[in-house]
Amino acid sequence: MSGVYERLGVRRIVNAKGPSTRLSGGPMRPEVAAAMAEAAGTCVDLLELHAAASRRLAELTGAEAGLVTAGAAAALLLGAAACATGFDPAAMARLPEIAGGRDRVVMVRSQRNQYDHAVRTAGLAIVEVGLPDRFAGAGCRDAEAWEIDAAIDARTACVLWVAHPRARPPLAEVAAVARVRGVPVLVDAAGQLPPKENLRRFLEEGADLVAFSGGKAIGGPQGSGLLLGRRELVAAAALQMLDMDYPPGLFRPDPAFLPTERLAGLPPHGIGRPCKVGKEQIVGLLTALELFLAEDEERRRGPWLEAVAALARGLEGLPGLALEPRLDLPVPELALRLDAERARLDARGLLDALVAGEPPIHPDPEELEEGRIVLRPDCLLPGDVELVLERLRVLLGPPGS
């Protein structure tokens, strides 16, 4: 047990849910932690580091440019701001006020979610389109590309599309109508890794900017993210995040990263200044991304499949418990379905008991209403499988066993 947490009186948890913010992300690989510690010990010119990171991100992902951000939500804020202002320093300085400009984001109604605060923070209002009656069980349709087309007008800064296997209409169709109308498409792909092909996929399908979380599957610092995409938009985003406290003449970025010759003047600190990143985040995320891309996907899945198999073996025969391994997912998982009549606890009771134990065990509660809890292996530490098995056998086994 780590001394830093002990000194604060904070307990470790077993993270059987996967990387998520409220559970402090995932465990960081030692190589990433070491790279961050090394970066922390020396000062550099942050602008030079951002420019180098952008070049490296372009090599790794095929994007024209990239920016390390303080999370995917920060990337959405910065991306939306870039779409609203373009390369106009006066417009940057005015945000979140957008007088007479591009102050709206078109978004499919069924994709609205709690992270759209990020684009609203930049001063943009969301225009919803589509009637997702497939979710109400009252129909079978969702938004269609023509509806996005019809909603785009002179006030549209961008179309925001939230990547998910269920997302409708498909990105390629959305990008096609937006391209014709000259409006960029910003994609929220925060949690869409693995598979690692997705790092390139959304740009290939026509997105202009894509936001990824650095603290989820990539395994970077918990408070990091990526904004990838078109050079000009990434530059506008970067300008609105960077510290601009430069005496005249000293702001001299790599023109390939920030083409300042096209700026009418240097804007002051922008709307993204509250989501700054440090050298440690930049180096940590780049290191994590290199490791993530270098690792063979099947090899990465090997230990996860073993953990799921070990959990399933160890839980066989407990009364009222049905085991549903889902081995085909990018991250395989084990769903535990509890028969409320026969099991000692229902799904809600089991969740509460796991979280109340010592150390607390956190499964994924998303399917609680269907009577299931889900165990995921990608953030388990050595020994955690045994710990989870022991606890579940005590909670669900015959009394006194």
Ligand X SMILES: *Cc1c(COP(=O)(O)O)cnc(C)c1O
* Residue ranges binding ligand X (CB under 6 A): 21, 71-73, 115, 162, 188, 190-191, 213, 215, 225
User: Least separation, in Å, of the C-beta of 192 and ligand X?
Assistant: 8
For the chain, what percentages of helix, strand and coil (3-state, to nearest 5) are there?
45, 15, 40
Q: CB nearer to ligand X: give 224 or 287.
A: 224
Pairing of strands 225-229, 321-326: unpaired
Angle at 75 between CA 74 and CA 76, to 5 degrees: 90
Please give the Cα distance from 393 to 396 (Å, whole number).
5
- Least CB distance to ligand X at residue 196 (A): 17
Q: Which is nearer to ligand X, 42 or 114 (CB)?
A: 114
For ligand X, the closer of residues 91 and 289 by Cβ is 289
Q: Please identify, using beta-carbon distances, which residue of 116 and 205 lies nearer to ligand X.
A: 116
Instruction: Say if residues 93 and 86 touch (Cβ distance below 8 Å).
Output: no
User: Shortest distance, CB of residue 271 to ligand X, whole angstroms?
Assistant: 16
Note the helical H segments in 266-296. Answer: 279-294
For the bound state, the minimum distance from the C-beta of residue 116 to ligand X, rounded and expressed in Å, comes to 9
Residue nearest to ligand X (CB): 71
CB of 281 to ligand X, least distance (A): 11
Closest approach of ligand X to the CB of residue 88, in Å = 27
Tell me the pairing of strands 185-188 and 209-213.
parallel
- Three-state SS at 69: strand
Residue with smaller CB distance to ligand X, 71 or 194: 71
**Residue 81 in contact with residue 234, Cβ under 8 Å?**
no
Contact criterion met (CB below 8 Å) for 200 and 208: no
* Torsion sign across C-alpha atoms 143, 145, 146, 149: positive
Between 32 and 343, CB nearer to ligand X: 32
